[in-house]
Amino acid sequence: MKTYREMSREELLSLKEKLDQQFADAKGKELKLDMSRGKPAMEQLDMSMGIMDVLNSEADMRNEEGVDTRNYGLMDGISEAKHLMSDMMGGIPAENVIVYGNSSLSIMYDTVSRCVTHGVMGSTPWCKLDQVKFLCPAPGYDRHFSITELFGIEMITIPMTPEGPDMDLVEKYVSEDPAVKGIWCVPKYSNPQGITYSDETVRRFASLKPAAKDFRIYWDNAYSIHDLYDEEQDELLEILSECEKAGNPDMVYEFSSLSKVTFSGAGIAAFASSKANVEETKKFMSVMTIGYDKINQLRHTRYFKNVEGLKAHMKKHAAILRPKFEAVLDVLEKELGGLGIGEWTKPRGGYFISFEAMEGCAKAIVAKCKEAGVVMTGAGATFPYGKDPRDSNIRIAPTFPNAEELAAATDLFVLCVKLASVEKLLAQ
Amino acid sequence: MKTYREMSREELLSLKEKLDQQFADAKGKELKLDMSRGKPAMEQLDMSMGIMDVLNSEADMRNEEGVDTRNYGLMDGISEAKHLMSDMMGGIPAENVIVYGNSSLSIMYDTVSRCVTHGVMGSTPWCKLDQVKFLCPAPGYDRHFSITELFGIEMITIPMTPEGPDMDLVEKYVSEDPAVKGIWCVPKYSNPQGITYSDETVRRFASLKPAAKDFRIYWDNAYSIHDLYDEEQDELLEILSECEKAGNPDMVYEFSSLSKVTFSGAGIAAFASSKANVEETKKFMSVMTIGYDKINQLRHTRYFKNVEGLKAHMKKHAAILRPKFEAVLDVLEKELGGLGIGEWTKPRGGYFISFEAMEGCAKAIVAKCKEAGVVMTGAGATFPYGKDPRDSNIRIAPTFPNAEELAAATDLFVLCVKLASVEKLLAQ
C-alpha cells in the first residue's frame, strides 16, 4: 500500500474525486453527532442509580463521627469521604485531604484565583506582579488553559513525550524563571493522550528546584481509577510522598473527583496537599463557604464503602467504554493504517483518544466533520490560547455516543482525515 | 421599679452580691450550650427528610426540558429550579436567575473575588485600585464583613434604623465617593436585628446615583420566606424591578438560598440580577465550573413543586421557631424589662434577636456567658472588623437549642447582662 505522500498528483486527484463523492453521500445522511466532550454515556449513569436509594427519609444522617450531615459543620468534609478520596488518590493520609462539592475544576479555579488575590503562604499576590507564567504540557486539557488565560497568566507550551511532559524543559523553566508559578498536569491517562507519567517523570517533578517560592504543581489526578482494562493498568507514583521525600513537601496541589464515577455534576471532589497547604486553604475556605454538601458526601461513601468499592464500580464502566475505544481504534487502524496521514494513541484508560493529523490539517478535518454533522472538540483546543502550532492535534471523545452513532461518527472522521490530507498534499 | 442607673451605690453592691451568688450557682450547673450561630434545629431538619425519597433508583432524572440531570450541561441551573428561586425572591423573571450549588455565601465570595481580579463589565479590576470601599450597615452579618476584609476592602459602618440602613448616609457616600463599590444588605429580617427595609428604603436604594460605575448593591435576600408568624409578615419590595424603573437595571446583585429551608449545606442557592449582569456572570462561570449539582436542584423542585410548596413548608418551621423566639423574648421582658440595662428586637422572621446592652458591656456579657458554659456570637462580630464602637450589640441565635436548653441559656444570659451592667455602673 502506498502512503498518500508517495502518490502521484494524478493518483491524488483521482482519490479526491472518490472521497468527494463519499463526503457528499455522508452529508446526505444528515448526521447529528457529538464527539466533542468527555461525557459519560447514559449506561454509565444508569449504573450509579443505586446510589439514589442509599439515603431515604428513614436514614441515619449522622456520619461516622456522629455529626449530623444535614446541618452546618465539618467545612472540610466528612471523615469517611476524606478517607475514600485519599485512598482513591493513591493512599494519601486523610488529614491531607479536603472534600469539596461537585467539581474539581472549581477547586482549581478557586486555587488559582486565590493565588492571584492573596499569593501563596504570604508571597506577593500575583495581581501585583508584572508577569506570571504557567507551564502547559500540550496537548492538554482545554479547561485548564481557560483558567490561566482568564487570569492573564502567560502560558508556555511544554511538549509531551510518552513518559509525560518534557522534563528537561520543565526543569529549566522552573529553576530559572521566578515568574513560573505553576504547571498544569493530568498525570494519569492524560487528557487527551492517555499518557501516564513514568516513575522517573514523577520523581523529577518531586525534585524540582523552583526559582519561585510560590511555584506549585497543579496535579489534576482526574483519571486515577479510570482504567479500561483489568490487566495492563497504568500505575502512577503517589506524588505527595515523593515530594516529601525530596524535601519539597508543599510543592503539589492535587485535585480529584467522582464526576466520572457517579454523576457528572453531582459527584464529590477533593483537594490534597501538604499539611501546611491544607491549613492555608482551610483559612480561606472559612471565609468562602459554610461548607459543601455533606449529604452527598455521605451518599457516596455509604454507597461505595471504600476504594475497593470504587474500583469494582469502575470495572463496570470499563466494560462499557472498552468496546467504544476499541471500535474507534479499529476503524482508525483499518482505514488510516499505513497511509501516513495520521497517528493516534491507544490509551489504557481515561476518556480520550488523541489523533495527530498531518501538519496543517486538524482545523480542516474538524470543519469537514462539522459540515457533515459530527461535532469534534475544536482543533487547537488542546493547546494554550487554542492555538496548536502544528495544527495537527484532534481530541476524540468516544464515551458518550452509542455503538451505532460511534461507528457513523468514526467513519465520517476517517473520511474527513483522508479528504483534508489529499487536499493538503494537492495544495503543496 | 428602679432602673439600675437610679440605684444607689449601696443598692448596686447589694445587688451584685446576690448576682455573684446566682452566677456561682449557674457555673455549678456546668452548662454546655451554644447560641452562637443561626443553625436550624434538628426538628426542622427532620421536617425535610421527605425530600430524600423524591429521587430513587427508579426516578426519571430528566428535568422539564428533557435534559439528563446526571450528566454535564445546563451550567446555570435547571429551568424549574430557576423558576422556584425566582418566585421565592419575589417574582423575578426566571431568565434573570442562575442556580448554583449549596451556598449563597460562596456566590457572594466569588462575586467579590471576580470584581477584585476582573472588575465589573470592563471596569478596572479592584486589585489595581489604591482604594476600594464597601458600606456595611451594622449591626450586620459577620460573614459578609469577613469577605470584604479578606480582600482588603475598606469597610464603612452605616447605622441601621427601623426602616433599614441610614439612607442619607448611604446616598452621600455612594454619590460622592467613587471608591465606594458596594454595600452589604440583608433586606428582609436582617441579620441580626430582624429589620425589613421599608418600601421607601428600597426605592431610595434603587434610585442611587453612584459615583462609581462598578458600584453594586449586594442584596443578600437570605430570609425572604422565613416568617415566624402567619399574619404580621413583613413584605419586601422587589428590588430588581425597582432598579429597572429607576433607570439602574444593573445596580443589584441578589443572593438567595434554601440552606435554612431544607438542609444547611445541602440546599440550593441562587443569584439574580439584570440580563447584562447575568450574562457577564455566565461568561466567568463557563471557566470556573462544569456546572452545579443539578440532581439536588431536581430533588428540591420535585419536592416543593412551587413557591407555595416552599411557603407551606416554612409555616412548619415557624411553628417550631416561634415558641423559641417567644420564650427568649419572654425571659428578656420578665427579667430585664424596665431595668434600663438593655433593649432588644422582636423580629417577625429570620434567625436572630438583636440585643443592645448598656454601652461597654457586650464583651463582658459574652465573656461571662462563656465562663458559665453558654457560647454566644462573639461581641463585636456584628460590626466591620469585629469592632462594635459602642461595645453593646449581642446577637442571640435561639433556633438550635431545644426548649430546656434555651431556657437555661436565656436565664444565664439575663443574669450575665445584669451582672455586667452592675459592674459597669459600679466602675463608673
Number of Cβ pairs < 8 A linking chain A and chain B: 166
Output phi, psi for B68, to 5 deg.
Answer: -70, 110
Q: Do A105 and B290 touch (CB under 8 A)?
A: yes
Q: Do B291 and A103 touch (CB under 8 A)?
A: yes
Q: Do A266 and B72 touch (CB under 8 A)?
A: no
Distance in Å, alpha carbon of B291 to nearest chain A alpha carbon: 6
pLDDT averaged over 10-residue windows placed end to end, chain A, 428 residues: 94 98 96 91 97 97 97 96 98 97 95 98 97 98 98 98 98 98 98 98 98 98 96 95 98 97 96 98 95 97 98 97 96 97 97 98 98 96 97 96 93 98 96
Nearest residue in B to A109, CA atom: B288
Chain B residues within an 8 Å CB radius of A146: 286-287
Decide if pLDDT at B338 tops 90. yes
Chain B residues within an 8 Å CB radius of A109: 287-289
Inform me whether the C-beta atom of residue B113 falls under 8 Å from chain A C-beta atoms.
Answer: yes
Chain B residues within an 8 Å CB radius of A69: 265-266
Residue of B288, B294, B298, B385 to mutate for A, most A C-beta atoms under 10 A: B288
Nearest residue in A to B148, CA atom: A287
* Strand stretches in A261-419, DSSP E: 269-272, 342-344, 353-357, 374-376, 393-396
Residue B283 C-alpha cell reads as: 461568561
* pLDDT at residue B249 in the model: 98
Chain A residues within an 8 Å CB radius of B70: 45, 48, 263-266
Among residues 144-183 of chain A, which lie with CB inside 8 Å of chain B?
146-147, 150-151
C-alpha to C-alpha distance for B265 and B296, rounded to whole angstroms: 11
Residue A259 burial (CB count, 10 A): 23
Nearest residue in B to A295, CA atom: B266
Q: Do A106 and B288 touch (CB under 8 A)?
A: yes
Q: Do A53 and B49 touch (CB under 8 A)?
A: no
**Angle subtended at Cα A185 by Cα A85 and Cα A169, rounded to the nearest 5 degrees:** 150
Inform me whether the C-beta atom of residue B375 falls under 8 Å from chain A C-beta atoms.
Answer: no
H-helix segments, B236-293: 239-245, 275-288
Nearest residue in A to B266, CA atom: A293
Region B255-283: mean pLDDT is 97
Chain A residues within an 8 Å CB radius of B286: 146
Q: Do A57 and B50 touch (CB under 8 A)?
A: yes
Nearest residue in B to A151, CA atom: B117
The pairing of strands B269-272 and B97-99 is antiparallel
Output phi, psi for A191, to 5 deg.
Answer: -90, 115
* pLDDT at residue B270 in the model: 98
Residue range A267-310, pLDDT digits in tens: 999 999 999 999 999 999 999 999 999 999 999 999 999 999 99
C-alpha to C-alpha distance for A46 and B61, rounded to whole angstroms: 10
Please confirm whether the linkage preceding B139 is cis (ω < 30° from 0): yes
Q: Do A296 and B296 touch (CB under 8 A)?
A: yes
Chain A residues within an 8 Å CB radius of B102: 101, 292-293
Q: Do A70 and B264 touch (CB under 8 A)?
A: yes
Inform me whether the C-beta atom of residue B124 falls under 8 Å from chain A C-beta atoms.
Answer: no
Lookup result for grid cell 463599590: B181
- Residue A39 makes CB contacts below 8 A (sequence gap 6+) with A264, A397, A399, A400, B71, B72
Question: Helix (H, G, I), strand (E, B), or coil: what is residue A220?
Answer: strand
Chain A residues within an 8 Å CB radius of B39: 71-72
Inform me whether the C-beta atom of residue B129 falls under 8 Å from chain A C-beta atoms.
Answer: no
Distance in Å, alpha carbon of A329 to nearest chain B alpha carbon: 25
The residue type at A381: A
C-alpha to C-alpha distance for B218 and B254, rounded to whole angstroms: 6
- Look over chain B and give the mean of its residue pLDDT values, rounded to a whole number: 97
| Surface-to-core class of residue A230, CB atoms within 10 Å of its CB (0-12 exposed, 13-18 middle, 19+ buried) | exposed
Inform me whether the C-beta atom of residue A143 falls under 8 Å from chain B C-beta atoms.
Answer: yes
Nearest residue in A to B149, CA atom: A287
Predicted confidence band of residue B428 (pLDDT cuts 50, 70, 90): confident
Residue A32 burial (CB count, 10 A): 9
Among residues 268-327 of chain B, which lie with CB inside 8 Å of chain A?
284, 286-296
Predicted confidence band of residue B131 (pLDDT cuts 50, 70, 90): very high
* pLDDT at residue A428 in the model: 87
The pairing of strands B353-357 and B342-344 is antiparallel
- Residue A366 makes CB contacts below 8 A (sequence gap 6+) with A376, A377, A378, A379, A394
Inform me whether the C-beta atom of residue A127 falls under 8 Å from chain B C-beta atoms.
Answer: yes
Predicted confidence band of residue B1 (pLDDT cuts 50, 70, 90): confident
C-alpha to C-alpha distance for A65 and B149, rounded to whole angstroms: 33
Residue B103 or B96, more confident: B96
Residue of A44, A46, A102, A127 to mutate for B, most B C-beta atoms under 10 A: A102
Nearest residue in B to A115, CA atom: B117
Predicted confidence band of residue B37 (pLDDT cuts 50, 70, 90): confident
Lookup result for grid cell 514523577: A202
* pLDDT at residue A57 in the model: 97
Decide if pLDDT at B231 tops 90. no
Inform me whether the C-beta atom of residue A68 falls under 8 Å from chain B C-beta atoms.
Answer: yes
Nearest residue in B to A268, CA atom: B293
Kind and range of the H or E run holding B320: helix B307-336
* pLDDT at residue B341 in the model: 97
Residue range B374-402, pLDDT digits in tens: 999 999 999 999 999 999 999 999 999 99
Closest by Cβ to A68, choosing from B45, B259, B288: B45
CA B215 to chain centroid, in Å, comes to 21
* pLDDT at residue A315 in the model: 97
Predicted confidence band of residue B125 (pLDDT cuts 50, 70, 90): very high
Chain B residues within an 8 Å CB radius of A40: 71
Residue range A187-212, pLDDT digits in tens: 999 999 999 999 999 999 999 999 99
C-alpha to C-alpha distance for A301 and A317, rounded to whole angstroms: 18
* pLDDT at residue A285 in the model: 96
Q: Do B55 and A52 touch (CB under 8 A)?
A: yes
Inform me whether the C-beta atom of residue A102 falls under 8 Å from chain B C-beta atoms.
Answer: yes
| Surface-to-core class of residue B177, CB atoms within 10 Å of its CB (0-12 exposed, 13-18 middle, 19+ buried) | middle
Confidence (pTM)? 0.96
